[in-house]
Chain A
Amino acid sequence: MKYVDEFRDGKLAKNIAANIAREATAASGYRLMEFCGGHTHALSRYGISDLLPASVRMIHGPGCPVCVLPIGRVDQAIRLAREHGVILCTYADTMRVPCSDNLTLMRAKSGGADVRMIYSTQDALKIARDNPNRQVVFFAIGFETTTPPTAVAVKQATAEGLKNFSVLCNHVLTPAAMHAILSAEGGVVLDGFVGPAHVSTVIGSKPYEPFADDYGKPVVIAGFEPLDVMQAILMLIRQINEGRATVENEFTRAVTREGNLKAQALVEEVFELRDVFEWRGLGSIPHSALKLRPEFAEFDAELKFSIDYVAVRDHKACECAAILRGEKRPQECKIFGTVCTPDNPVGSCMVSSEGACAAHYSYGRFRDAA
């Protein structure tokens, strides 16, 4: 397949792997965090770890939208569907995130709640248009990549005067999470970041400059194809070897320094910063998430239905929090692969294929066999 096969070529992979093996000579090793779940997935699905020397350790980051969603947020969505009788629309993976009372949106659906899986915000708008007598809520999750489509939907709903549509907004911000990881006391020690792919197409590479300038951590923005990830790892190793810390862009075919200005303007017009937002694993981070601006308040499901956020603690055996902070690996969790599997996830990292636990379980757990 054109524009895809070129980035999955086995021969090129071997070349990059040879370069990595030759250059990754620092005795202290290389602790690299791939921020995005998309990178975690690529590493696992293509078996990239088999091509990396022992000195390079990839640490999975929190960039998986459903993974960082705390239980209380899914509870809100379930309350909307069950108690307020709304049609709740959301993206697929969100349906399986475990929340209070042993529920998921999928189970709520089986129990009679009207929960619908959609592929785009346009589907949610269509459902609202087709059901004028029902309230339709779009449970919006995701990093900067999925925010512009939500903004578009809100603007369309405004233009159409769609009174039965609203958004339960859980859009979060990547740089805030990276700050949280780097500034956590006693947190994970990192030598560099494989920077986000799709997020960076929207926000550009500029927002990562403080991580290089202030924290001294190299960042290499990489696409989601396996060769992208490998090339980025090589570029990080070179920076570390040379004692440099800059933001480099491997994903030049899609990412510029400034990003997508049109999308940014749209997001700016519709959303504003929340004072604080609770992330799973990372805790409450100031200015790390978005909510609708007051002029779009009628589309804000939290206001429209007066549903407050109630924080709920994670399952006590679940290590998702430490895994999302990069402090633990999935296989170090006691319930990994036993109580917690992709079929019966206990923690959110076992839900999405981008989640560190699901990726390791589904693609890599043969490496744990003695």
Chain B
Amino acid sequence: MDRVKPNYSRPLDFKQGRVEMSHGSGGRAMAQLIAELFTAGFDNAYLAQGNDGALLPQITGRLVMSCDGHVVSPLFFAGGDIGCLSVHGTINDVAMMGARPLYLAASFILEEGFPLADLKRIVESMANAARLAGVPIVAGDTKVVEQGKGDGVFITTTGVGMAREGITLSGDLAQPGDTILLSGTIGDHGMAVLSQRENLTFDAPIVSDTAALHGLVAAMLDSGVKLRVLRDPTRGGLATTLNEIAKQSGVGMMLHESAIAVNQPVEAACEFLGLDPLYVANEGKLVAICAPEDAGCLLEVMRAHPLAREAAIIGEVTEDAHGFVQMTTKLGGRRIVDWLAGEQLPRIC
């Protein structure tokens, strides 16, 4: 008689359980975590291959690849969490290259003792975001660090996409005279996260704008307008993004403060904390630069998309040897909109 009992392992306790060191050790516990949480959650044929890497179908064209680490604190905030943020962040980076995001890979660094219930919530949020975006998470990795050596969970995602034929977008293509467009309000993500931080007893109804922008980008490209630069103003906010572009392109910019929209609660929170919304992170907005004759058409296309209803022309690219990004103020004066100095808000994404 066969005395070997059938393999049985108790299902993971997603109510009371916590991440243990063994979940990252490569043994059965890790295999179980991957099977019951990640593979089940992300649910696609590539991940189900169960190999060291995903074998993907042949594609022809120029590939775009990007990767983005996420260390946001708190992990859950109004409008999202680290899970969907890590999906949106990388999809957006790929999309800003004028590419269609195809696949994602995700690497998790978990801290020993992190509640499995929270991890499940995060994975489900990632899975949901990936599903809605139509971009599967096809590969992944899990490591566990000792308690005190991490902060719950860090997620790094890598994205691969295919650049649209004939489209090359780059930060060094802005030309004097070009028009600068912005897809909506600024500062929502940063202030949503900040207002929820435990050491700030500040409670405002501010919701993160975290969103996947590849649909919007596709619509913009479909319009036939010749885009020169696309970029999502994440960390460092709109100001930093525009300075990066100005530097890369060797140009200056003139913005118009009255054209840059800020949601009222965000404005109030910034006012209260002495922050400038121009420097506060966004996770669902983009900056577009195009020739002035195309701006009207592009604006119309953007406004027709649900993620850019409040799109606006916010300024022009100028010739400037110093590369200054300047702004006409609502008051009627002029100022520089400089690079962010130091850190305004750490751990924002």
Minimum CB–CB distance from A274 to chain B (whole Å) comes to 28
Q: Which residues of A contact B331 (CB under 8 A)?
A: 8-10, 13, 46-48, 51, 226
* A50 and B338 contact, CB distance less than 8 A: no
Give Cα distance in the complex from A119 to B273, angstroms: 9
Give Cα distance in the complex from A369 to B323, angstroms: 11
* A369 and B322 contact, CB distance less than 8 A: yes
Q: Which residues of B contact A293 (CB under 8 A)?
A: none
Give Cα distance in the complex from A361 to B340, angstroms: 12
Task: Decide yes or no whether A79 CB sits under 8 A from chain B.
Answer: no
* A1 and B335 contact, CB distance less than 8 A: no
Residues A366 and B268 in contact in the complex (CB < 8 Å), given A46-B329, A96-B342: no
Q: Which residues of B contact A48 (CB under 8 A)?
A: 331, 333
Q: Mark A85-119, 1 if CB is under 8 A from B, else 0.
A: 00000000000100000000010000000000011
* B333 and A47 contact, CB distance less than 8 A: yes
* B326 and A10 contact, CB distance less than 8 A: no
Chain B: residues with Cβ within 8 Å of the partner, total of: 24
The interface centre, meaning the residue of B199, B258, B326, B339 with most chain A CB atoms within 10 A of its CB, is B199
For B334, give the chain A residue with the smallest CB separation.
Answer: A47
Chain A: residues with Cβ within 8 Å of the partner, total of: 33
* B199 and A119 contact, CB distance less than 8 A: yes
Q: Which residues of A contact B334 (CB under 8 A)?
A: 47, 50, 366
* B338 and A362 contact, CB distance less than 8 A: yes
For the residues of A in contact with B, the DSSP-based class is helix
Q: Which residues of A contact B199 (CB under 8 A)?
A: 118-119, 123
Q: Which residues of A contact B273 (CB under 8 A)?
A: 119
Pick the contact of A342: B267, B322, B341 (CB < 8 A): B341
Pick the contact of B335: A46, A343, A358 (CB < 8 A): A46
Give Cα distance in the complex from A224 to B329, angstroms: 16
* B332 and A50 contact, CB distance less than 8 A: yes
Task: Decide yes or no whether A14 CB sits under 8 A from chain B.
Answer: yes
For the residues of B in contact with A, the DSSP-based class is loop
Minimum CB–CB distance from A153 to chain B (whole Å) comes to 16
* A366 and B326 contact, CB distance less than 8 A: yes
For B326, give the chain A residue with the smallest CB separation.
Answer: A366
Give Cα distance in the complex from A174 to B335, angstroms: 29
Give Cα distance in the complex from A17 to B328, angstroms: 16
* B200 and A362 contact, CB distance less than 8 A: no
Task: Decide yes or no whether A363 CB sits under 8 A from chain B.
Answer: yes
Task: Decide yes or no whether A49 CB sits under 8 A from chain B.
Answer: yes
Give Cα distance in the complex from A44 to B333, angstroms: 9
Q: Which residues of B contact A46 (CB under 8 A)?
A: 329-331, 333, 335
Task: Decide yes or no whether A27 CB sits under 8 A from chain B.
Answer: no
Q: Which residues of B contact A14 (CB under 8 A)?
A: 332
Give Cα distance in the complex from A369 to B334, angstroms: 14
Pick the contact of A51: B322, B332, B336 (CB < 8 A): B332
* B341 and A10 contact, CB distance less than 8 A: no
Residues A1 and B332 in contact in the complex (CB < 8 Å), given A96-B342, A343-B342, A366-B326: no
Would you give 12 A-B contacts (Cβ < 8 Å), ordered by A?
A1-B268, A9-B330, A47-B329, A50-B332, A106-B342, A119-B200, A119-B273, A342-B342, A343-B339, A364-B336, A365-B324, A366-B336
Q: Name B residues whose Cβ lies closer than 8 Å to a Cβ of A.
A: 199-200, 258, 264, 267-268, 271, 273, 322, 324, 326, 328-336, 338-339, 341-342
Q: Name A residues whose Cβ lies closer than 8 Å to a Cβ of B.
A: 1, 4, 8-10, 13-14, 17, 44-51, 96, 106, 118-119, 123, 226, 341-343, 358, 361-366, 369
